Amino acid sequence: MYTHVTLKTVQAGTLFGTLLFGPLIALARKDTRNMKGLVAKVGKAGKVGAGIGLVTGPAMTYSKFRDQTYEQVWDRAYRVRKNRGQVRADQGYIAGGVIGSLVTTLTASNPLVGELVGSSIGILGAAYYTNMYLPKKEKEEKKE
């Protein structure tokens, strides 16, 4: 459970840092309102967000499960592991990060920024697929 919750908090920190706070910070200062400034702020905010997630994940897990029995924790871990939506989000995050890092490495750009942006896009894509595309597809299949 520690791994799952920590990965989720790192994902959230990366997503918010890269796609929300990084661009807002870059726009707030006149000297960073350009592509170079945006890339720098996105990279820094994404790293900070991931770092915050790395620290808060274990603390959140401990506070949630400290009073629960072994069976309750095991049951929750089993349900998380078998939840296809959670697995898909993790796969999208990792695949997006790897692809983003490879693309930016091949184009002689900063691979860390590519990983941050790629993983954010990957998790958003997995969320869209799980929550919007699949239900629509299943609804159409029921009509047939």
Confidence of residue 142 (pLDDT cuts 50, 70, 90): confident
Cα–Cα dist 87/51, whole Å: 22
Question: What is the reported pLDDT for 143?
Answer: 78
pLDDT in tens, 40-69: 999 999 999 999 999 999 999 999 999 999
The SS3 call for residue 109 is coil
pLDDT in tens, 80-119: 999 999 999 999 999 999 999 999 999 888 899 999 999 9
CB count within 10 Å of CB 9 equals 22
Provide, rounded to the nearest whole percent, the portion of the chain with pLDDT above 70: 99
pLDDT for residue 144 is more than 80 = no
In the chain the first and final C-alpha atoms are separated, in Å, by: 40
Cβ proximity of 79 and 24 under 8 Å: no
pLDDT for residue 139 is more than 90 = no
Closest alpha carbon to 123 in 90, 81, 100: 90
